């Protein structure tokens, strides 16, 4: 670690749970972030500022004026640009040492099978049910830890799926892929802007803990935030032996 890095990351190094060794693990890591919108913006900025060595951003959308109410990686002068390129510029402005790969693409199964094995940790910051299940399935297939978050209206939730732990339930254990589910979008239902910041920042925190080996993760727990009352609730999750995604694990 260089003298500049020792200064830049000094507040992490001062933490007993991180220290120099943990920060070096962060510097050597690769985070794959699916979605560069409301959740992906704060998650990417915090991971970049924390020194994650390589960040890959995947999103097929472009910056729209309606995004700017909550997607803090983007700016008015970048309306119309690909979100991944806009977010990459924001990360680089904070920390030019971070290598950023920007992929303007939809995260389908084929792309995920190519990208997930290269990652140290995966963050699901997408905004639809199908993508969440595709990301979860890819992480289970390739044994990569996943930090999943979601926000709509005044409600937020997040969990960690860690296929490296035999008892860790996956996303499909809690939300079955074949369940009847009415997709809701913030374009029609709305979303309180700071809540994506809260959940996205917590996704970054969980990812950094996984990378640095700092304390237990959220694996096996679902955190739910009611933004109206500002109350958190925790649901303890169990792995389903008959889960169509992770049930084959031993």
Q: Could you give the residue numbers annotated as active site?
A: 186
- As a whole number of Å, the end-to-end CA separation of the chain is 39
Report the residue count for the chain: 250
Query: Which two three-digit tokens encode residue 7?
Result: 């200064």
What is the DSSP track for 115-156? Answer: HGGG-SEEEE--SSHHHHHHHHHHHHHHT--EEEEEEEBTEE
Q: In whole angstroms, give the CA distance from residue 71 to residue 169.
A: 30
Q: In whole angstroms, give the CA distance from residue 147 to residue 126.
A: 11
Task: Name the 3-class secondary structure at 217.
Answer: coil
Q: In whole angstroms, give the CA distance from residue 246 to residue 162.
A: 11
Contact 145, 122 (CB under 8 A): yes
**Partner residues linked to 124 by β-bridges:** 34, 148
Give whole-number Cα distances, 110 to 33, 129, 182, in Å.
16, 17, 25
């Amino acid at each position: 670690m260089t003298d500049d890095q020792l200064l830049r990351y000094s507040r992490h190094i001062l933490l007993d749970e991180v220290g120099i060794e943990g920060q070096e693990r962060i510097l050597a890591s690769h985070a794959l972030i699916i979605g560069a919108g409301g959740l992906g913006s704060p998650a990417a900025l915090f991971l970049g500022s924390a020194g994650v060595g390589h960040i890959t951003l995947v999103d097929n959308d472009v910056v729209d004026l309606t995004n700017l109410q909550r997607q803090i990686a983007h700016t008015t002068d970048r309306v119309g640009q690909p979100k991944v390129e806009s977010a990459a510029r924001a990360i680089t402005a904070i920390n030019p040492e971070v290598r950023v790969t920007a992929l303007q693409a939809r995260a389908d199964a084929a792309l995920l099978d190519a990208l997930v094995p290269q990652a140290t940790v995966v963050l699901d910051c997408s905004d639809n049910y199908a993508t969440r299940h595709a990301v979860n399935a890819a992480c289970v297939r390739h044994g990569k830890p996943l930090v999943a978050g979601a926000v709509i209206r005044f409600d937020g939730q997040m969990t960690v799926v860690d296929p490296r732990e035999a008892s860790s339930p996956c996303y499909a254990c809690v939300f079955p892929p074949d369940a009847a589910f009415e997709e809701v979008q913030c374009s029609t239902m709305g979303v309180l802007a700071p809540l994506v910041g809260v959940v996205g920042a917590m996704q970054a925190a969980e990812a950094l803990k996984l990378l640095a080996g700092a304390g237990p993760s959220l694996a096996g727990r679902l955190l739910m935030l009611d933004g109206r009352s500002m109350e958190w609730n925790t649901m303890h999750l169990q792995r389903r032996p008959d889960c169509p995604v992770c049930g084959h694990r031993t």
